[in-house]
Amino acid sequence: MTITTSQDELLGAAIGAIASGLFIVSSQQDGKTATMLASWVQQAGFVPPSVTIIVGKGRPIESFLTVGSPVVINVLEKGDGKTIGHFAKGFAPDVDPFAGLATAIAPSGQPYLSGAIAYLDATITSSLDAGDHVVLLATISSGKRLSEGEPATHTRKNGFSY
């Protein structure tokens, strides 16, 4: 199918209308921590409890999220622009992305944000190539609702870019 500019704009607007949440995904290994602000996280199963996490190829966190790796998904609260802004800028590999933020330790030993409305403690169990992204399946071993806030949601004007 050949897509014209007009078709591309219409399709981009339609894809961008797909609502998602806002999350901080993190993994700590060998004394280093990688994080990313993510919007493409979705529950994938009940038994075992699982989620999918979509990661753009080449993102620094990608090398931390291989099969068997620990991962924490922090569910952000609506209106929490401070946390979103903090993680949106990205971090060099030698910088602690949690510096200055209140954290606690999940049962797996991974840090999570105390100010999140919930966290999920999980392990990457499989991956699937999706063109310019990777779809990761993570099985959840523990988690907790930390507050009764409303989860942040996100839509995009153009489904072909962040």
CATH of domain 19-154: 2.30.110.10
Rounded Cα distance, 153 and 162, in Å: 14
Rounded Cα distance, 155 and 131, in Å: 21
Residues of the chain with pLDDT under 50: none
Rounded Cα distance, 113 and 92, in Å: 19
Domain range summary for the chain, segments of one domain joined by +: 19-154
pTM of structure? 0.92
The string of DSSP letters for 91-103 reads --TTS-TTTTS-E
Query: pLDDT exceeding 90 applies to what percent of the chain?
Result: 83
pLDDT tens digits along 124-160: 999 999 999 999 999 999 999 999 999 999 888 888 8
Rounded Cα distance, 81 and 73, in Å: 17
Query: What's CA 142's distance to the chain center, in Å?
Result: 17
Looking at residue 1, the DSSP 8-state letter turns out to be: -
